[in-house]
Amino acid sequence: MNIGAFQKRIEEIYYERDSARGLEGTHMWFAEEIGELTRALRRGQREELEGEFADVLAWLATLASIAGVDLEQAAVDKYAHGCPRCESVPCGCD
């Protein structure tokens, strides 16, 4: 599944509820998920990490949808040529 298909799937599952909550309220849930990812990183348990990374990605996708942003296109537009600042791969910035 690519990023665009993932974003669409998250919309199918959660968009109605998340958009009703609004961008600000949904962002609060996203921030909470980042906290859960932080705790999982400290524990270092693979299965927990995978779940938390997936949750953060899902919340990011729903935020993008509410904001009207195509997450896949935004990523391509910014990173397709490498580092957005120096356009090198790997980044050559100081």
Whether residue 36 lies inside any domain: the answer is yes
Model pLDDT, residue 88? 96
Whether residue 94 lies inside any domain: the answer is no
Model pLDDT, residue 9? 98
Whether residue 9 lies inside any domain: the answer is yes
Whether residue 93 lies inside any domain: the answer is no
What CATH number does residue 8 fall under? 1.10.287.1080
**Number of folded domains in the chain?**
1
Model pLDDT, residue 59? 98
What is the 8-class DSSP label of residue 93? Answer: -
- Measured in residues, the chain has a length of 94
| pTM for this model (two decimals) | 0.91
> Per-residue pLDDT tens for 12-64?
999 999 999 999 999 999 999 999 999 999 999 999 999 999 999 999 999 99
User: What's the domain range around 25?
Assistant: 3-79
Model pLDDT, residue 2? 96
Whether residue 92 lies inside any domain: the answer is no
Contacts of 94 (CB under 8 A, 6+ apart): none
Whether residue 88 lies inside any domain: the answer is no
